[in-house]
Structure 1
Amino acid sequence: MATIPSLPSRDDVLRMARNTTDITGQLLDTAQNITRIAMNTFDPRDGSGAEVLRVLRETTAELAEASASPQAQEAFYRIVGTLTRLGTSGAPLAVHPVSEPAQALLTAIGDSLLPVLDAVEPAVEEFADALGDLVEATSPLLPAAAGVAAGALLAVTPVLRAAADVLRDSSPELRRVADALTAALAPLMPLQVALAERATAAGAGVVRATLPPLADLAEAAAATSKVARPVLVAGEELLVSGFERFQPLLLATASRAGRVARAAAVRVSAAVSPTAEPGVLVAVSTP
């Protein structure tokens, strides 16, 4: 039998009533502050309300004027026409018989790629992290690269526009070229298909014949690598230790070459500059 819950005490009732009263007071204060802000904003006596309404009217009028201009109307019509052409040209593709093999091909590719994606997921995550670190490290160069890209785009834009104008003016010749290519290549298509079938059959035979030797070769190479793994590890260890030993020598050589280059630059600048004070000899000692 379920137990009957005990009734709240007098102190609990008073505490809940006090909390309810406090929350109600806070809500009323908030509503009063919002009302005061709205009244101060749109109050016509200090000019702020009239200024807000004036700015709204000017903005609305400018937007209406900009949208009613011939350029804006032409842009709207071009956008609608482009969307209409895309819809009319893309709708038949969904019901075309070619779409069914394409969908089957995409499904097969997706099913076969899922194990590959699962296998390379850790490597892809590590590569993405490393790439993010590289991008973060090279972030000071990004504005310069963006400027160079923008300049290249601005330089290429006139060329593209000129090419578009030339191709637009030469549309009859382009149609003639397309018709000629179609007429020349149409008789060759059956021959190409037959040759492709023969080449496919020959290639399949070659693959069937070469796969067993390749499998044997791969197994032999794997066994050889297992046997030669200690030798390879030892060679890598020798190479790394040799590089570590030669590192101080390389650093010292680079430092000495830098000092020699600086000394030569100072001597050349002192010999070329005629404004140097007489009797002052600039020399840099190289240890």
Structure 2
Amino acid sequence: MATIPSLPSRDDVARIARSTTDITGQLLDTAGNLTRIAVNTFDPRDGSGAEVLRVLRETTAELAEASASPQAQEAFYRMVDTLTRLGTSGAPLAVHPVSEPARALLTALGDSLLPLLDAVEPAVEEAAEALGELVDASSPLLPAAAGAAAGTLLVLAPVIRAAADVLRESSPELRRIADALTSALAPLLPLQVAFAERAAGAGAGVVRAVVPPLADLTEVAAAGFRAGRPLLIAGEEMVVSGLEQLQPLLLASAGWAGRVARAASVRVAAAVSPTTPTAVVVTTTPR
């Protein structure tokens, strides 16, 4: 049996009343501000209301004049004609016999994909978060990449424009090629359909024969993987330990290579421009 809820205390009633009063006061203040704005806008004494009405009348007259022009009427007719054509061409698709199997297919795909999406949702969220961190970390490289992409597009623009001009000039030849391909491939389509049906039947038989042995092989491989998991973990531990031991050597090598590259760049710059009045040559001794 459900318990009867307790009545609110006097403090709760007072708090609710104060909250209601505050909200009501805020609503009244907002309504007063809106009324004041409307009155100030349309007040005829300071001319603002007359100015607003004049602007509205002029705007309405200009819109009426623009819509009554022959160009606007023709544009409206074209819009209506386009919408009518879209409606008449798209309406039969909704009642076409193929629409029912298509809806059934989409429903089946949705029912099959929902559990998969629910299963991969945590991994997708984790990958998205990691990708966001990667983008934040590589943000200093983004301007350089954008500049390189812009330069590449600028270089490719003349090539694309020239290719478009060539294709536009060669449209009759392209039409002849398309007609020749169509006339050559059209007789082969029924034969290809027959071959596809035979291939589908043979492929289904092969899949039926291969799936049971593949399941057995997968079970054996999973058992072997479970048995060799300690060895795999030990190998991963050895690889990680080796990388940790090589890390100081790799850092030292990278620092040495950087110093050598800087010294070489300074020498090359001094050799290219020997007339510089104050040339500084930095020499480094490899460690």
Report the TM-score when normalising by structure 1: 0.68
2:4 equivalent in structure 1: none
- Cα distance in 2 for residues equivalent to 1:245 and 1:65: 82
Say whether 1:276 aligns with 2:280: no
Taking the TM superposition and a 5 Å limit, the aligned residue runs for 1:31-46 are 34-43=34-43, 46=46
Equivalent residue, structure 1, for 2:263: 263
The 1:76–1:215 alpha-carbon spacing in structure 2 relative to 1, beyond 3 Å, is same
**1:218: how far off?**
0.9
Q: 1:143 to 1:102 in 2, by over 3 A?
A: farther
> Partner of 1:117: helix, strand, or coil?
helix
Write the distance in 2 (CA, Å) between the matches of 1:59 and 1:147.
48
Report the AA paired with residue 192 of structure 1: Q
* Structure 2 counterpart SS, 1:284: coil
Contact 1:270 1:276 in 2 (8 A): no
Q: What is the match of residue 128 of structure 1?
A: 128
Aligned match of 1:116: 116
- Number of matched residues? 264
Any stretches of 5+ residues in structure 1 without a counterpart? 1-15
Q: Which residue of 1 aligns with 2:81?
A: 81
Give the Cα–Cα distance (whole angstroms) in 2 for the partners of residues 237 and 270 of structure 1.
49
Output the amino acid matched with 2:259.
Answer: R
**Matched residue, 1:4:** none
What percent identity do the matched residue pairs reach?
71
2:260–2:284 contact (8 Å) kept in structure 1 = no
- Match of 1:276, as an amino acid? P
- Residues 1:208 and 2:208 are matched in the alignment: yes
Q: 1:130 Cα deviation (Å)?
A: 3.1
Q: 2:92 maps to which residue?
A: 92
Distance 2:124 2:280 in 1: 61
Cα deviation digits, residues 17-41 of structure 1 (max 9, x gap) = xx98x99998877666555444444
1:5 matched residue in structure 2 = none
- In the TM superposition, residue 234 of structure 1 has moved relative to its aligned partner by 1.0
**CA offsets, 1:153-184, max 9 Å, x none?**
995996898699779x86xx85x877776665
Between the aligned partners of 1:87 and 1:230, the Cα distance in structure 2 is 66
What is the alpha-carbon distance in structure 2 between the residues aligned to residue 239 and residue 72 of structure 1? 74
Give the 3 Å change call, closer, same or farther, for CA 33–202 of structure 1 in structure 2: closer
Q: How many Å separate the matches in 1 of 2:97 and 2:144?
A: 49
Question: 1: distance between equivalents of 2:169 and 2:74?
Answer: 24
Cα RMSD (Å): 4.5
Q: Distance in 2 between matches of 1:144 and 1:66?
A: 47
One-letter amino acid of the structure 1 residue matched with residue 236 of structure 2: E
Q: How far apart are the structure 1 equivalents of 2:250 and 2:52?
A: 71
Change (3 A) 1:40 1:142: farther
Greater Cα shift, 35-44 or 199-208: 35-44
Report SS of the residue matched to 1:211.
Answer: helix
* Counterpart Cα distance in 2 of 1:108 and 1:26: 53
Query: Displacement, 1:91?
Result: 0.8
- Structure 2: segments with no counterpart, 5+ residues: 1-16
Q: Is the 8 A contact 1:67 1:73 kept in 2?
A: yes
Structure 2 Cα separation of the partners of residues 53 and 163 of structure 1? 58
Would you say 1:285 and 2:284 are equivalent positions?
Answer: yes
